[in-house]
């Protein structure tokens, strides 16, 4: 498929090389899979959309920096480039974005969203022309995770006429990007083909040298057949293909505090073999038809395959990583092996996982008018299957004079050997009644989910079934919701909503009789939004009452890696969100092409447990958790402030992202951030930090635009996380210079 797409791109460039230069992407026709886009004001609740024009100004290949513009989004940085975002919405856990519904062009995109939802693969943000975040009752249609919300990424759309775009850039740490796409719409056949490459040698400094970066390559193609413009029944069929590969020299292992203070960019010698390999292929076939006036039906069949093998250091000198980080002096021998200053044994684990996801979904939209009443009906159904095949293999290396040498190759599956299957039938019906300025929008969602777990044991690598243990779980879930809206004026709306939220309970256990229960919540929101050409305001208050809130035991979240979920009873997460966009001179008589845009996003979140319980481990730790303890990794205060200046040729923006002090263990009272006098195990919070970025674009001509991106202007060396293992730095000051061409 890669060769086919490459050939198509080359031929298209050749055949269209004589075409005149035309307008930019801002005039592209958006696909029907767009949920709201610039029609966000018609969506009940607090959905928000970031379009191409804003993304183009920011020049950010890192989705984390763009999502922080939207209130209610909580993100934990990990590797600095945003390749595997940890996203939470309205207080949901951020780890691997496993508790939100992730979509690309309206189709579930996590490798196995039901069976194994951790998003180790995340779509290449560089090829997205927009993104949508749905929260509150507006996102009940987009399950299975309906507590926090949904994120829908919008890939490059097919243009209405021949267009092309190319971009090259180079910057700090040999970070470089090459992107090109071309597309056109003919009488009945349309297309767009795109290639992206993003690579870097990395900003981490490996003991004894070595690459700590990545190389990601991404190709996408869309072919669309459609009826003639004057057809009585308009319809189209779109084939979309995506292929992504990534090789990342990335590690789970961070640093002790003393080593962080000495050099926050250091990476230990024991991580020199750590490597992440990802292969992802996706295909979808979508049919759209408008059989009657006011009636549209969109049906999509989809299939995706993802392979991920993350090889990484597991134990050192017989000691766990966390034990060494907790007390390097007591584990001096293992610490010296970790740093390559002493010889010894290292256990190494390759966590190979193969995922597939496939399904068929259809959505019907019908709107009609009866006198003064407007009616909109949406009905959707999706049949979905996914699987995660997990083979984890442990090998042994010898650290010899700072170099790791393989001494014992492991037998496939000697650490983990299991298959996780899920089948789901989901459906919903949503009805909107409008009268004058009032809207009432009730809806209901139904999910039927079947889980099948097969654990073959670590000694049966051929999977003959000699030690096979199986477990099953079946769920029927009904999720009602209702939203209300009232237009005080043309651009000023009030909204309120309540809905029942849900998260699946994960795989059933084969080692105990206890089965995690589904996570439920009753979610409320109340807010207002004002939208005009020069000013956009939105304010929302939310309250999520949880029952059976779920915790997880993953290595990436600080656990042992069993992958099991466990219940923690009742919890309460509530807060407020505020966003502002103001174009200072857009409608001024003094304008003459000059504009000073101002943006502000603020989120306050209060998250606490409402029951006392003994925790089973994972990202909340072990031991007694008391009623009133704060839920960790949910930042109370998040602020993003953007200041810009725009002329016809020049746009510049300065964006500051403040992340407040964040608890990393459950508790109440005093918080202890990392310092010389606090032991690793006693740290219960990460200190607040501020990161400031600059982006500038200068339009040399109708075709060519140069840009400059400066990340972390003040070179803030803040600790951004203590997970997966040890303290981790933000991306240091970096500069990127690039050129964009529209043709």
User: 595-604, pLDDT tens digit by residue?
Assistant: 999 999 999 9
Is 77's pLDDT higher than 90? yes
| pLDDT given at position 590 | 55
> Residue 730 above 90 pLDDT?
yes
Angle in degrees, CA 219, 223, 228, rounded to 5: 160
Whole-number pLDDT of residue 523: 96
Question: What is the torsional sign of CA 201, 202, 203, 206?
Answer: negative
**Distance in angstroms (rounded) separating the CA atoms of residues 250 and 267:** 10
Question: How far does CA 506 lie from the centroid of its chain?
Answer: 19
Average pLDDT of the residues of the chain: 91
**Cα angle: 704, vertex 707, 713; to 5 degrees:** 175
> Beta-carbon neighbour count of residue 594 at 10 Å?
15
List pLDDT tens digits, range 674-718: 999 999 999 999 999 999 999 999 999 999 999 999 999 999 999
Q: What is the model's pLDDT at position 305?
A: 98
Q: What confidence tens digit (pLDDT) does each residue in 217-234 have?
A: 999 999 999 999 899 999
pLDDT 10s digits, 334-360:
999 999 999 999 999 999 999 999 999
Across 24-33, 84-93, 196-205, 433-442, least confident range:
24-33
pLDDT band at 619 (very low <50, low <70, confident <90, very high): confident
Domain ranges of the chain: 2-742
What does the pLDDT read at residue 561?
Answer: 65
Residue 8, pLDDT score: 41
Q: Which of 137-151, 450-464, 526-540, 595-609 has the lowest mean pLDDT?
A: 137-151
Pick the CATH number of 2-742 from 3.40.367.20, 1.10.1740.10, 3.60.15.10, 2.40.170.20: 2.40.170.20
Distance, CA of 22 to CA of 289 (rounded, Å)? 30
95: number of Cβ within 10 Å: 25
Confidence band for 591, pLDDT divided at 50, 70 and 90: low
Adjacent-strand bridge partners of 362 = 299, 381
Cα separation of 503 and 578, whole Å?
26
When pLDDT is averaged across residues 611-621 and rounded to a whole number, the result is 82
pLDDT for residue 566: 82
Place of tokens 């966590």: 351
Separation of alpha carbons 275 and 310, rounded Å: 6
What three-state secondary structure class fits 555? Answer: helix
Across-strand partners of 300? 286, 361
Query: What sign for the dihedral angle of Cα 9, 10, 16, 20?
Result: positive
Task: Enter the tokens of residue 100.
Answer: 């939100």
Report the distance separating Cα 492 and Cα 488, nearest Å. Answer: 6
Percentage of the chain beyond pLDDT 70 is 92
Select the highest-mean-pLDDT range: 34-43, 608-617, 622-631.
622-631
Please write the tens of the pLDDT for every residue from 273-308: 999 999 999 999 999 999 999 999 999 999 999 999
Residue 530: other Cβ atoms inside 10 A: 16
Question: What is the band of 558 on the pLDDT scale with cuts at 50, 70, 90?
Answer: low
How much is the pLDDT for 208? 92
pLDDT over threshold 80, residue 593: no
pLDDT at site 7: 39
Q: Is the pLDDT of residue 587 over 80?
A: no
Alpha-carbon gap, residue 481 to 440, rounded angstroms: 11
| Distance of alpha carbon 101 from alpha carbon 424, whole angstroms | 14
User: Which residue reads 């970096």 in tokens?
Assistant: 734
- Supply 311's token pair: 């090889």
Q: Please, which residues bridge with residue 375 across strands?
A: 368, 433
At 174, is the pLDDT very low, low, confident or very high (cuts 50, 70, 90)?
very high
Question: Given this model, what pLDDT does residue 14 score?
Answer: 35
């Amino acid at each position: 498929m890669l060769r086919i797409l490459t050939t198509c791109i080359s031929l298209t460039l050749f055949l269209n090389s004589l075409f005149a230069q035309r307008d930019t992407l801002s005039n592209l026709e958006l696909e029907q899979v767009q949920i709201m886009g610039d029609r966000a004001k018609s969506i009940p609740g607090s959905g928000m959309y970031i379009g191409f024009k804003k993304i183009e100004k920011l020049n950010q290949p890192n989705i984390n920096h763009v999502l922080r513009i939207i209130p209610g989004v909580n993100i934990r940085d990990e590797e600095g480039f945003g390749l595997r975002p940890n996203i939470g919405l309205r207080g949901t856990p951020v780890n691997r974005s496993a508790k939100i519904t992730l979509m690309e062009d309206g189709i579930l995109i996590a490798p196995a969203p039901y069976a194994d939802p951790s998003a180790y693969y995340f779509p290449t943000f560089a090829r997205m022309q927009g993104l949508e975040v749905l929260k509150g009752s507006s996102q009940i249609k987009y399950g299975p995770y309906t507590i926090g919300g949904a994120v829908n990424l919008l890939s490059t759309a097919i243009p209405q006429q021949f267009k092309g775009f190319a971009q090259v850039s180079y910057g700090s740490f040999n970070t470089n990007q090459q992107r090109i796409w071309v597309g056109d719409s003919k009488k009945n056949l349309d297309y767009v083909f795109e290639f992206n490459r993003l690579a870097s040698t990395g900003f981490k400094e490996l003991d004894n040298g070595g690459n700590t970066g990545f190389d990601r390559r991404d190709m996408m193609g869309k072919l669309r057949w459609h009826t003639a413009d004057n057809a009585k029944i308009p319809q189209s069929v779109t084939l979309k293909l995506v292929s992504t590969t990534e090789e990342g020299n990335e590690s789970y292992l961070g640093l002790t505090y003393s080593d962080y203070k000495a050099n926050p960019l250091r990476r230990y010698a024991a991580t020199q073999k750590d490597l992440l390999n990802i292969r992802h292929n996706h295909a979808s076939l979508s049919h759209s038809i408008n059989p009657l006036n006011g009636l549209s039906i969109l049906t999509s069949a989809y299939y995706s395959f993802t392979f991920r093998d993350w090889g990484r250091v597991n134990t050192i000198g017989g000691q766990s990583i966390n034990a060494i980080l907790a007390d390097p002096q007591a584990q001096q021998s293992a610490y010296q092996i970790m740093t390559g200053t002493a010889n010894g044994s290292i256990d190494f684990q390759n966590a190979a996982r193969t995922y597939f996801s496939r399904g068929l979904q259809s959505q019907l939209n019908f709107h009609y008018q009866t006198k003064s009443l407007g009616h909109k009906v949406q009905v959707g159904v999706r049949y979905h299957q996914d699987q995660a095949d997990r083979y984890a293999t442990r090998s042994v290396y010898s650290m010899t004079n700072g170099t790791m040498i393989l001494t014992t190759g492991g037998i496939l599956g000697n650490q983990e050997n299991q298959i996780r299957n899920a089948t789901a039938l989901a459906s919903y019906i949503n009805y909107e009644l409008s009268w004058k300025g009032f809207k009432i929008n009730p809806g209901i969602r139904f999910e039927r989910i079947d889980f099948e777990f097969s654990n073959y044991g670590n000694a049966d690598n051929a999977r003959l079934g000699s030690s096979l243990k199986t477990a099953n779980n079946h769920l029927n879930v009904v999720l009602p919701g209702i939203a209300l809206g009232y237009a005080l004026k043309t651009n000023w709306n009030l909204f309120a909503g309540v809905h029942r939220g849900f998260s699946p309970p994960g795989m059933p256990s084969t080692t105990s009789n206890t089965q995690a229960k589904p996570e439920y919540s009753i979610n409320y929101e109340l807010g207002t939004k004002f939208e005009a050409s020069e000013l956009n305001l939105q304010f929302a208050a939310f309250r999520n009452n949880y029952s059976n809130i779920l915790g997880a035991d993953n290595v990436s979240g600080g656990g042992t890696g069993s992958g099991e979920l466990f219940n923690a009873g009742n919890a309460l997460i509530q807060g407020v969100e505020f966003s502002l966009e103001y174009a200072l001179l857009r409608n001024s008589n003094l304008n003459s092409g000059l504009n000073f845009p101002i943006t502000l996003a603020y989120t306050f979140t209060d998250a606490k447990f409402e029951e006392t319980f003994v925790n089973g481990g994972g990202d909340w730790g072990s031991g007694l958790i008391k009623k009133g303890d704060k839920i960790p990794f949910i930042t109370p205060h998040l602020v993003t402030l953007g200041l810009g200046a725009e002329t016809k040729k020049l746009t510049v923006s300065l964006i500051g992202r403040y992340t407040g002090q964040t608890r990393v263990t459950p508790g109440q009272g005093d918080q202890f951030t990392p310092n010389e006098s606090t032991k690793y195990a006693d740290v219960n919070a990460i200190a607040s930090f501020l990161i400031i970025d600059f982006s500038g674009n200068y339009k040399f001509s109708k075709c060519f635009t140069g840009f400059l991106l400066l990340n972390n202007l003040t070179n803030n060396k803040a600790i951004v996380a203590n997970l997966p293992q040890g303290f981790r730095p933000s991306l240091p000051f970096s500069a990127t210079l690039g050129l964009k061409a529209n043709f």
